[in-house]
Amino acid sequence: MTEHPVHGYSQYAAHRRHPPYNAPTRKPRFRISNRLKIIVGVVIIFLIVMSLINKTFIGTFVCFLLGAVSMVHKRFVKGLPIGIELAVMSTCIISKAQGPIVGAIFGLSTAIAAQIVANDFDGGMIFYFAGTTLAGFIAYYLPFYLVIVVIMMILMNDLFTQFVPLLGPSYMKLSAGTYMITHLIINIAVFQVFGQYLLALATP
């Protein structure tokens, strides 16, 4: 008598020889167009040239560069809840030195440049752009010492960007709280060392 293979065994063997291929899933990411990269490059070159002509442009360019490259670590380390970000502080300095309109434009431009450098575009970037732009406009009118203005604008910006995590589960609240505390500490430390020099350099 010929024995028939157990039902399903041949399918199991075929599965072992040729396991099904599951393509890895990737999170959709925003891609930066070459045209936008060219525009950013032209702006940076323009700032460099103008900084060689005028002292104010030197201060503006240094503040722009400080804010733009401050989040470069996000390109290599994702999800680190440490507030290494200097665009808001730089924006407050420019606002006090050159007025609310320039401050708002500078804030938006620097925030966009920082996101490009970090390659960290997501849905939350809109709140970051809005908070930094608003900080650039409001900072000029606040009648306090500049370090106090920087602290207030950082807290405002963090509420814009961390509002949803603060309402989430405990681990998200912990991450948001860690970011906000370190964001304040780092900015205060940097401002205490360079803030007044940058303000003098950026003031016409």
Q: Are 201 and 62 in contact (CB under 8 A)?
A: yes
Q: Are 135 and 107 in contact (CB under 8 A)?
A: yes
Domains of the chain (ranges; CATH) run 32-202 (1.10.1760)
Dist. CA 3–CA 166, nearest whole Å: 66
Q: What is the mean pLDDT of the chain?
A: 83
pLDDT in tens, the chain (204 residues): 555 554 544 554 444 555 554 544 454 454 556 777 777 777 777 767 766 777 788 888 899 999 999 998 888 887 788 899 999 999 999 999 999 999 999 999 999 999 999 887 777 789 999 999 999 999 999 999 999 999 999 999 999 999 888 898 999 999 999 999 999 999 999 999 999 999 999 998
154-193 pLDDT, tens digit each = 999 999 999 888 898 999 999 999 999 999 999 999 999 9
pTM score, whole prediction: 0.74
